[in-house]
Chain A
Amino acid sequence: MASKLTRFEKARIIGARALQLSMGARPLVDVPESLDPIDIATLELKKKVIPLDIRK
Chain B
Amino acid sequence: MIEKVTKVVKKKRAKFTESLIHEIAQAAQRHDLDDDELDELVKRVKKAYERAKIEAGEAVGTVAAQSVGEPGTQMTMRTFHYAGVAELNVTLGLPRLIEIVDARKKISTPTMAIFFEDEYRNDEEFVRTIANQIGKSTMNDILQDFHINYAENNVVAELNMEKIADKRLNFDDIINRVEKAFKKVQIDNNLLSFEPAKSSIRELRLLADKVRDLQISGVKNIGRVVIRKEEEEWVIHTEGSNLGAVLKMEGVDKVRTTTNDIHEVEKVLGVEAARNAIIHEAQRTMDEQGLTVDVRHIMLVADMMTADGSVKSIGRHGISGEKASVLARASFEETGKHLLRASIRGEIDHLTGIIENIIIGQPIPLGTGSVGVVMKQK
Contacts and interface: CB of A to CB of B under 8 A. Distances in A.
B368 A11 contact: yes
B368 A8 contact: yes
Contacts of B61: none
Interface in B47-64: 55-58
A15 B57 CA distance: 17
A52 B374 contact: yes
Contacts of B367: 8
Contacts of A56: 371-372
B255 interface: no
A36 interface: no
A6 to B, nearest CB: 4
Interface in A18-46: none
A55 B57 contact: no
B370 A8 contact: yes
A52 B368 contact: no
Interface in B320-378: 367-368, 370-378
B111 to A, nearest CB: 44
Contacts of B373: 12-13, 16, 52-55
A8 B378 CA distance: 25
Contacts of A7: 55
Contacts of A12: 368, 371, 373
Contacts of A11: 368
B371 to A, nearest CB: 4
A53 B375 contact: yes
A55 B374 CA distance: 7
Contacts of A16: 373
A15 B370 CA distance: 14
B188 to A, nearest CB: 84
A8 B371 CA distance: 7
A21 to B, nearest CB: 14
Interface in B12-60: 55-58
A7 B268 CA distance: 44
B234 to A, nearest CB: 52
B369 to A, nearest CB: 8
Contacts of B55: 6-8
Nearest to A6: B55
A31 B255 CA distance: 66
A11 B374 CA distance: 14
A7 B55 CA distance: 8
Contacts of B370: 8
B173 to A, nearest CB: 67
A7 to B, nearest CB: 6
B372 A54 contact: yes
B57 A52 contact: no
B376 A53 contact: yes
Nearest to A51: B376
A55 B369 CA distance: 12
Interface of B: 55-58, 367-368, 370-378
Given A13-B371, A53-B375, A54-B373, 11 more contacts: A6-B56, A8-B58, A9-B57, A11-B368, A12-B371, A13-B373, A15-B368, A53-B374, A53-B376, A56-B371, A56-B372
8 contacts: A8-B58, A9-B57, A11-B368, A12-B371, A15-B368, A16-B373, A52-B373, A53-B373
State the 4 A-B residue pairs at the shortest beta-carbon distance, nearest first.
Answer: A55-B372, A6-B55, A12-B371, A8-B57
